[in-house]
Amino acid sequence: MNRRVFLIVLDSFGIGYEPDADKFGDVGANTIKSCMTSKEFDTKTMGKMGLFNIDGVEGGEKCAAPIGSYGRLQERSMGKDTTIGHWEIAGIVSPKPLPTFPDGFPEKTIKEFEEKTGRKVLCNKPYSGTQVIADYGEEHMKTGALIVYTSADSVFQIAAHEDIVPIEELYRYCEIARNMLKGDVGVGRVIARPFIGKPGAFERTSRRHDYSLTPPKDTMLEALINAGYKTLGVGKIYDIFAGAGIQDTVRIQNNSDGMVKTLERQGWDFNGLCFVNLVDFDMVYGHRRDIDGYAKALTTFDKEITEFIGKMRDEDILMITADHGCDPGFTGTDHTREYIPLLVYGKDIKEGVNIGTRTTFSDIAATILDIFNVPNNTDGTSFKDMILK
């Protein structure tokens, strides 16, 4: 029997602030609650899976007989970013936060980057990704200097116009930065942010590329491979893990393209895990505090997952979760420290089982390994016996 687990991460779809949210300035954050205020919000299929039955979820119509198992997970790692969130889902708890740079990167670091790339740097401070190209794009086009900026996350972002800096050259600059940024300046991700257009009408393109730190130890991905199982990545999963443990990968243009690629892989014969990240929830709607846009994207995904469920094989298991919050109704533009949901469905999954509140995202990894009868190399505890028939 070929067992296939499809693990889909709705990037930033938090379901309410965690007990330690005060340490992150996020008390009151609740991504799903903000989305439910929009008339665009309609997630009937996830509702049937038990989304509104999850502990602590306020609003929405609870399902009398959920078709799968459900619950919520609390982050144990000291962070609320994509890298740390995904690493924890894959089995690694990070006791220390990755470094952030609220005043910009050290002058020494910028000077070294300028010397190694042969280009000057503009900005070097926390900035909105759309605003930074509006404010610095014209100067960049005149001078060829790279727009380097950060955010409240552990990121070193490089924006460049595709007519001024060819995309492969931008990627090479990111690789230079990634090789430089270690130790005290070891950010979680270096991100290429290409854009096009003219002054006053710049827009970012879909050719973003992330360069992450390599995880500090093996995750569930290596454990699966070592046991002879296949690992597929859709979206920026490969980037988040710096390629570690991913045997096959495909880039995506947006959420819907991500689901198209996932549906394609649903037609493949493989025995193992398909790990998917849908980034638009975070990048396009969460950070820009677009409640209606976020809600509409959830509604679209709900329709797409309905199609996915209709094509599942008897031995398939679907898991839907998130990696952190990014409440579009909250202050600022930062991620938010929130619980994440977990919805599990398949012919072999018990219906109506509430796994409650788990104390680490890593329980997902432990459970996946347990489903495949692979020894647990993670910081999590399996709940397989609660959900598997």
The CATH number assigned to the domain holding 112 equals: 3.30.70.1250
Of the candidates 211, 243, 268, which is a domain's last residue?
Answer: 211
For residues 80 and 133, state if they share a domain: no
Banded model confidence at residue 20, pLDDT cuts 50, 70, 90: very high
For residues 70 and 111, state if they share a domain: no
Of the candidates 165, 187, 211, which is a domain's last residue?
Answer: 211
Banded model confidence at residue 2, pLDDT cuts 50, 70, 90: confident
| 97 pLDDT higher than 90 | no
For residues 69 and 205, state if they share a domain: no
Comparing CA positions, the residue from 189, 186, 11, 210 lying closest to residue 96 is 186
Single pTM value for the model: 0.89
For residues 260 and 347, state if they share a domain: yes
Mean pLDDT calculated for residue range 119-143: 96
For residues 259 and 143, state if they share a domain: no
Report the percentage of the chain scoring pLDDT > 70. 100
Give residue 15's domain range. 4-98+214-387
For residues 220 and 192, state if they share a domain: no
CATH number of the domain bearing residue 299: 3.40.720.10
For residues 76 and 218, state if they share a domain: yes
pLDDT value for 165 = 98
Contacts 24+ apart (CB under 8 A), 256-265: 256/300, 256/304, 258/234, 259/301, 259/304, 259/305, 259/308, 261/234, 261/235, 262/6, 262/8, 262/234, 262/308, 263/304, 263/307, 263/308, 263/311, 265/232, 265/234
Of the candidates 211, 227, 255, which is a domain's last residue?
Answer: 211
Mean pLDDT calculated for residue range 246-273: 97
For residues 81 and 148, state if they share a domain: no
Banded model confidence at residue 185, pLDDT cuts 50, 70, 90: very high
Comparing CA positions, the residue from 30, 35, 1 lying closest to residue 302 is 35
Q: How many residues does the chain have?
A: 389
Tokens of 289: 């505090």
**Contact yes or no for 332/314 (Cβ under 8 A):** no
**Contact yes or no for 305/49 (Cβ under 8 A):** no
Count of domains observed in the chain? 2
Mean pLDDT calculated for residue range 116-128: 97
For residues 258 and 358, state if they share a domain: yes
Question: In the Cβ-directed half-sphere of 25, how many Cα atoms lie within 13 Å?
Answer: 8
pLDDT value for 332 = 86
Amino acid letter, 287: H
For residues 226 and 341, state if they share a domain: yes
For residues 330 and 342, state if they share a domain: yes
For residues 264 and 360, state if they share a domain: yes
